[in-house]
Chain A
């Protein structure tokens, strides 16, 4: 499973766009890139997942360059409630197990602090 590297912390202000970049140099062909958000004393919450190029949903965008060795989570117009730890995960789904979820390797995450 590929190891990920992301900044330990980031600061931002309300209304700004926040970009968190994750490095995963050893990503494998069948690995997907997934981002989770975690608030204190709660379980992580899925934000977005992608394989290549760009993925967008109602809360974030995920940019993945052609070599897939890095990815950037983009949070548009953050608010105070976006203060949390953001985890970048790289891993393949266990296709040979009929689609079961493989184990998730969480790094240290990026602690995002949004200030008023």
Chain B
């Protein structure tokens, strides 16, 4: 069974640009969550999607957005990039049942210069 796949693995963008990251969850998983990880702030929750609907949202500005498609694949978009957006962005997927574990991808390393 394939794991969570995130693309691209590495990305370098210029301040002010926008970026789109992709996440393919484990087959059959309907919940996809996104996290930002930085050395200073640690792992922070961005948002969660379930059956194409955003269910939860973390405390991030509106420049961070996401969506989920009917096949459960998800994308997150960051507009008007800032230097502080440099981070490892992680995607996690979960089955639809309660009390289940989250499976994380290897992340996308975004560097804003």
- A residues sitting closer than 8 Å to B (CB atoms) are 32, 34, 41-46, 49, 87, 93-95, 97-109
Complex Cα distance, B55 from A104, in Å, reads 13
Residue B48 at the A interface, CB < 8 A? yes
Residue B28 at the A interface, CB < 8 A? no
- B residues sitting closer than 8 Å to A (CB atoms) are 4, 30-31, 33, 35, 42-45, 47-48, 50, 55-56, 58, 88, 90-92, 94, 96-107, 109
User: Which residues of chain B are within 8 angstroms of A104 by Cβ–Cβ distance?
Assistant: 33, 35, 43, 45, 92, 102
Contact of B56 (CB < 8 Å), options: A32, A34, A44, A102:
A102
A108 and B58 form a contact (CB under 8 A): no
Complex Cα distance, B55 from A97, in Å, reads 8
Interface of A is mostly: loop
- Name the CB-closest residue of B to A34: B101
B50 and A97 form a contact (CB under 8 A): yes
Instruction: Give the interface centre of A43, A49, A87 by most chain B CB atoms within 10 Å.
Output: A43
A42 and B56 form a contact (CB under 8 A): no
User: Which residues of chain A are within 8 angstroms of B91 by Cβ–Cβ distance?
Assistant: 43
Complex Cα distance, B48 from A34, in Å, reads 18
Nearest-CB distance from A30 to chain B (Å)?
10
Contact of A43 (CB < 8 Å), options: B42, B44, B50, B106:
B106
B45 and A32 form a contact (CB under 8 A): no
User: Which residues of chain B are within 8 angstroms of A34 by Cβ–Cβ distance?
Assistant: 101
Given known contacts A34-B101, A49-B101, A104-B45, is B109 in contact with A99 (CB within 8 Å)? no
- Name the CB-closest residue of B to A106: B43
Enumerate the 9 nearest inter-chain pairs by beta-carbon distance, A residue then B residue, closest first: A43-B104, A106-B43, A101-B94, A46-B101, A100-B50, A103-B45, A99-B98, A101-B31, A103-B56
